[in-house]
Structure 1
Amino acid sequence: MVRKYVKFFPIIGLLLFVYIISKIDLHAVAQNFLNIDLRFLALAFVLTVPSLLIKTLKWKQLVKPFNVELSLKEAASAWISGFFIGLVTPGRVGDLARAFYLKDKMKIGSALTTVVVDRILDIFVLMVLSVLGIFFIITNFAVDGKVIQMIFGAFVLFTIAAIVFFQKKYASRLLKPLFNIFVPEKYKEKLKSSYQDFYDGISTLKANKGAIAKAVILSVVAWTITFTNYFVLSLAIGLNVEYFFILMIMPIALLVEILPISFSGIGTRDAAIILFFSFIGIDANSAVSLSLTILIFNYIYSLAGLAVWVKNPIKL
Structure 2
Amino acid sequence: MKRLISLAISLIILCIIYFKIDTRELLEVFRTCNPTWMAISLAMVVPLTTFTAWRLQQLVPHGVRLGFGESNRLILAASVLNMVLPSKMGDLAKAYFMKQRGHLDGSLAFSLVVFEKTCDLLSLLLWCAFGLTVYPDKNWLFWLLAASVAGGLIVGLLLLGSRSLAQIFFRALKRFAPKSMREKLDSLQIAWNEMHAYFWQDKRQLTKIAATSVFIWFLHLMQIWMFTLALNAAVPFLANLALAPLAILAGLLPLTFAGVGTRDAAIIAFYHPYLTAPVAAALGLLCTSRYLMPAIAGLPFLNQYLALVATRRK
Given the superposition, is the C-alpha separation of residues 197 and 47 from structure 1 closer, same or farther in structure 2, using an over 3 Å criterion? closer
The counterpart of 2:213, out of the listed 219, 238, 241, is 219
Q: Mean alpha-carbon deviation: is it higher for 151-160 or for 39-48?
A: 151-160
Alignment of 1:290 onto 2:283: yes
- Structure 2, unpaired ranges of 5+: none
Q: Which residue of 1 aligns with 2:49?
A: 52
Alignment of 1:174 onto 2:170: no
Q: Which residue of 2 aligns with 1:278?
A: 272
Q: CA RMSD in A?
A: 3.2
Given the superposition, is the C-alpha separation of residues 110 and 245 from structure 1 closer, same or farther in structure 2, using an over 3 Å criterion? same
Output the amino acid matched with 2:20.
K
Output the amino acid matched with 1:131.
A
Q: Which residue of 2 aligns with 1:315?
A: 309
Q: Is the 8 A contact 2:86 2:254 kept in 1?
A: yes
Q: Is the 8 A contact 2:256 2:262 kept in 1?
A: yes
How many residues get paired? 303
Q: TM-score, normalised by structure 1?
A: 0.82
Q: Which residue of 1 aligns with 2:239?
A: 245
Given the superposition, is the C-alpha separation of residues 97 and 53 from structure 1 closer, same or farther in structure 2, using an over 3 Å criterion? same
Secondary structure at the residue paired with 2:244? helix
Given the superposition, is the C-alpha separation of residues 33 and 6 from structure 1 closer, same or farther in structure 2, using an over 3 Å criterion? closer
The counterpart of 1:148, out of the listed 139, 143, 147, is 143
Larger relative contact order (CA 8 Å, sep ≥ 6)? 1
In 2, Cα distance between equivalents of 1:161 and 1:135: 19
In 2, Cα distance between equivalents of 1:300 and 1:217: 26
Q: Which residue of 2 aligns with 1:299?
A: 292
Measured after TM superposition, the shift of residue 130 of structure 1 is 0.8
Q: Mean alpha-carbon deviation: is it higher for 240-249 or for 153-162?
A: 153-162
**1:155-194 pair list within 5 angstroms:** 155-157=150-152, 159-160=154-155, 163-164=158-159, 166-167=163-164, 169-170=167-168, 171=170, 174-175=173-174, 180-181=179-180
Measured after TM superposition, the shift of residue 218 of structure 1 is 0.8
In 2, Cα distance between equivalents of 1:308 and 1:245: 37
Q: Which residue of 1 aligns with 2:39?
A: 42
Aligned-residue identity in percent: 21
Q: Is the 8 A contact 1:81 1:308 kept in 2?
A: yes
Cα shift readout 1:172-209 (whole Å, capped 9, x = no counterpart) = 563587685359xxxx79x9789756633431112222
Q: Is the 8 A contact 2:129 2:149 kept in 1?
A: no
Q: Is the 8 A contact 1:108 1:194 kept in 2?
A: no
